[in-house]
Amino acid sequence: MKKVAMFTMGTRGDIQPYIILSKELIRNGYDVTLGSHPCWRHLVEDSSIHFEPIGPDIDIEKEAAIIRGRTSNSALSMLRMMKFVFKMIQHSTHEIYEVCKGKDLIIVSHSQMGATEAEVLGIPTVNVTLQKEMIAEKLKPQTFWNKLIGKIIGKQVAKPYNKIRKVYGLKPIQSSDEIMSRKLNLIPISKHVLERNPYWEEQHILTGYWYEDEEKYRPDEKLAAFLANGDKPILLSLGAMAFEGESEKDKLDMFVSAFRKLGYRAIIQGFQKTFQNYELPKTMISCGSVPHSFLFKQCLFVIHHCGFGTTAATMIYGIPSIPVPHVLDQTGFAMQLYNIDVATKPLKSKDLSEDSICDALLDMQSTFEEKKKNVELLSTKIKEKNGVKEAVRLINKVMKI
């Protein structure tokens, strides 16, 4: 039995793709270990995956919300979050190294966790990349200035990895490309959403989205009764954006007022702290963690932060979106949805107000039928290819199984 380890840090959306991949690898006879923040132990172990805690025991979604809430600039917010995560990865290298020992393959997540440790131990790697911008256009003809700019940016991105390499006495790298697998880089995005870049090297492969339908899920009595008694609701699901301390209630008030003004029933995820002392109208309900595969099918459209997983789920399950991105990668995913006409124009989180939310809802009303038709057609195309099965087929090929 081939032994595989993979590591990831971040919010639930950062770990979910690796849970899905782990489960498919296990079904194909692999022995899988998934390492992440201690707070994700139950989430991973509930999927019957061996878990290894990596890094400090913190509430990562709360920490992410605090960092993102310090600035309204999406690029600066993302840089701060990356710096925070890189620091944890750097301090966790010895834990990662120990977990890597004795493995036959290390699957390196989008944060490059495990790449250096695998190199030290002489273990082959396969990469996973969620953002297309992270893939170098190696086959593109380069001008002098492009090369120079690329070199400068590459050195900056490589800095945190070089700190880890120094621990093991490895030579510094000039760019993070140097630690990526030369055999295989899995991109869990559908070709119907993203056109493959002709300047990518051949190991970068679009597999299609990774997802699973949790058919055994049953909602609790409260949610089931709400869904059964009234028109289809809309869904508000802002991920870590719904964890921001003092601004949380103000943000929730804006959405609740806008929903009430335009007569929408709504399901609201997140805002746990605020809901401890908050009374919603009878036309709205709060809910905790519910599988996208169930919840998205029950709702008219979804207002979301455009994390990788939620963005993918809107297209997989055929539901239009109102995007409210907060950091740079979310802005990219939001524009992806807008450009293929399955979402309204993204709402800037720094410009949120009751009026801007109402305007977005009215925009969705006037274009809903077209967006619904587009996203349902896209969903059908996406489901024609099982992305996670394709990913495991490609891993088998690398492992010569």
- Residue 150 and residue 50 share a domain: yes
- Residue 135 and residue 250 share a domain: no
- Residue 279 and residue 134 share a domain: no
- Residue 246 and residue 370 share a domain: yes
Per-residue confidence (pLDDT) for residue 228, from 0 to 100: 94
H runs (alpha helix) in 4-73: 12-27, 41-45, 60-68
Model confidence at 68: pLDDT above 60:
no
Within-domain flag for 27: yes
- Residue 155 and residue 242 share a domain: no
- Residue 170 and residue 308 share a domain: no
Model confidence at 291: pLDDT above 70:
yes
User: What length is written for the chain?
Assistant: 401
Per-residue confidence (pLDDT) for residue 72, from 0 to 100: 56
Q: Which of 76 and 87 is assigned the larger pLDDT?
A: 87
Confidence class of residue 60 from pLDDT cuts 50, 70 and 90? low
**pLDDT over 70 percentage in the chain:** 90
Within-domain flag for 213: no
Nearest one of 95, 75, 311, 109 to 209, comparing CA atoms: 311
Model confidence at 54: pLDDT above 80:
yes
- Residue 200 and residue 91 share a domain: yes
Mean of the pLDDT values across residues 6-33? 92
| Sheet with 50-53: strands ordered across | 50-53, 31-36, 3-7, 105-108, 125-128, 185-187, 204-206
Per-residue confidence (pLDDT) for residue 77, from 0 to 100: 59
Of 26-35, 119-128, 215-224, the range with the lowest mean pLDDT is 215-224
Per-residue confidence (pLDDT) for residue 63, from 0 to 100: 61
Nearest one of 221, 320, 227, 225 to 267, comparing CA atoms: 227
Model confidence at 133: pLDDT above 90:
no
Residues 36, 289: Cα–Cα separation, whole Å: 19
Per-residue confidence (pLDDT) for residue 116, from 0 to 100: 95
Per-residue confidence (pLDDT) for residue 134, from 0 to 100: 84
Q: What is the CATH number of the domain that holds 295?
A: 3.40.50.2000
Q: How confident is the prediction for the chain on average, in pLDDT? A: 88
Q: Which of 241 and 194 is assigned the larger pLDDT?
A: 194
DSSP codes joined into one string, 205-254: EE--------TT----HHHHHHHHSSSPPEEEE-GGGGG-TTHHHHHHHH
Treating both helix axes as pointing N-terminal to C-terminal, what angle do 354-383 and 308-316 enclose, rounded to 10 degrees?
A: 60
Of 79-88, 312-321, 322-331, 360-369, the range with the lowest mean pLDDT is 79-88
Mean of the pLDDT values across residues 24-43? 95
- Residue 191 and residue 85 share a domain: yes
- Residue 358 and residue 232 share a domain: yes
Within-domain flag for 52: yes
Domain that holds residue 281: 221-383
**pLDDT over 90 percentage in the chain:** 62
Per-residue confidence (pLDDT) for residue 234, from 0 to 100: 97
Mean of the pLDDT values across residues 322-336? 88
Confidence class of residue 213 from pLDDT cuts 50, 70 and 90? confident
Model confidence at 184: pLDDT above 90:
yes
Per-residue confidence (pLDDT) for residue 159, from 0 to 100: 82
Within-domain flag for 214: no
- Residue 377 and residue 391 share a domain: no
Confidence class of residue 285 from pLDDT cuts 50, 70 and 90? very high
pLDDT in tens, 234-281: 999 987 655 555 557 888 999 999 999 999 999 999 887 788 888 999
Within-domain flag for 62: yes
Per-residue confidence (pLDDT) for residue 67, from 0 to 100: 52
pLDDT in tens, 294-303: 999 999 999 9
Per-residue confidence (pLDDT) for residue 240, from 0 to 100: 62
Within-domain flag for 77: yes
CB 361 within 8 A of CB 323: no
Within-domain flag for 63: yes
Per-residue confidence (pLDDT) for residue 160, from 0 to 100: 83
- Residue 262 and residue 175 share a domain: no
Task: Give exposure, 321-348, as e/b (b: 16+ Cβ within 10 Å).
Answer: bbbbbbbbbbbbbbbbbbebebbbebbb
Per-residue confidence (pLDDT) for residue 146, from 0 to 100: 72
Model confidence at 400: pLDDT above 80:
yes
Within-domain flag for 309: yes
Model confidence at 61: pLDDT above 70:
no
Residues 208, 193: Cα–Cα separation, whole Å: 9
Mean of the pLDDT values across residues 329-355? 91
Nearest one of 328, 325, 316 to 344, comparing CA atoms: 325
Residues 114, 384: Cα–Cα separation, whole Å: 33
- Residue 291 and residue 258 share a domain: yes
User: Total domain count for the chain?
Assistant: 2
